[in-house]
């Protein structure tokens, strides 16, 4: 499992509001290129974001499913880019002064991707997830739709 951390100068409820805006997923997740649909009730356990990964003409349509959620603290997703891989992504949020410490962990659990040796995949996953957290931070800090827990974006 690969883990990256980033201190975000926004409170956990604001960061969580971005995490749980399924329509914003492609704006912060590196590789996600288009959101086709978001299940009603997202981010309840079992709901999914229907997304595309990659760029034309090599786009793959797939989903990310909520496995676990704790408001303002945790979102765990089963992510897929089938037939390449399926993985588990955990984003944990902890208060950090007046901001938030975001911790993102990812592990391949399905498909051929899980057989790639960790020394080969770790640098790519870490770079991708660091950039994803930077994009998440940018949305949480600079997009006022997520102020006060993001009630107005839903």
What letters, b where the CB count within 10 A reaches 16 and e where it falls short, cover 34-73? ebeebbeebbeeebbbbbbbeeeeeeeebbbbbeebeebe
Domain ranges of the chain: 2-145
* CB proximity list for 67: less than 8 A, separation 6 or greater: 45, 76, 77, 78, 88
Is the pTM here over 0.75, yes or no?
yes
User: What is the average pLDDT score of the chain?
Assistant: 90
82 has pLDDT over 80: no
User: How is residue 145 written in tokens?
Assistant: 């739709």
Q: What pLDDT was estimated at residue 148?
A: 67
The confidence score (pLDDT) of residue 111 equals 76
CATH number of 2-145: 3.30.530.20
CB 85 within 8 A of CB 112: yes
Q: What percent of the chain stands above pLDDT 70?
A: 95
């Amino acid at each position: 499992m690969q883990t990256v951390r980033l201190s975000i100068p926004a409170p956990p409820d604001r960061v969580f509001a971005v995490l749980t805006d399924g329509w914003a997923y492609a704006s912060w997740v590196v590789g996600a290129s288009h959101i086709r649909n978001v299940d009603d009730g997202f981010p309840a356990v079992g709901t999914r974001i229907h997304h595309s990964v990659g760029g034309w003409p090599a786009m793959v349509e797939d989903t990310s499913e909520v496995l676990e959620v704790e408001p303002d603290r945790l979102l765990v997703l089963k992510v897929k880019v089938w037939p390449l891989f399926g993985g588990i992504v955990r984003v944990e949020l902890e208060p950090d002064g007046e901001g938030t410490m975001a911790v993102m962990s990812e592990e391949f659990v399905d498909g051929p991707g899980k057989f790639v040796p960790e020394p080969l995949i770790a640098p790519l996953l870490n770079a991708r997830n660091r950039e994803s957290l930077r994009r998440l931070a940018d949305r949480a800090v600079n997009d006022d739709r997520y102020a006060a827990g993001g009630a107005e974006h839903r």
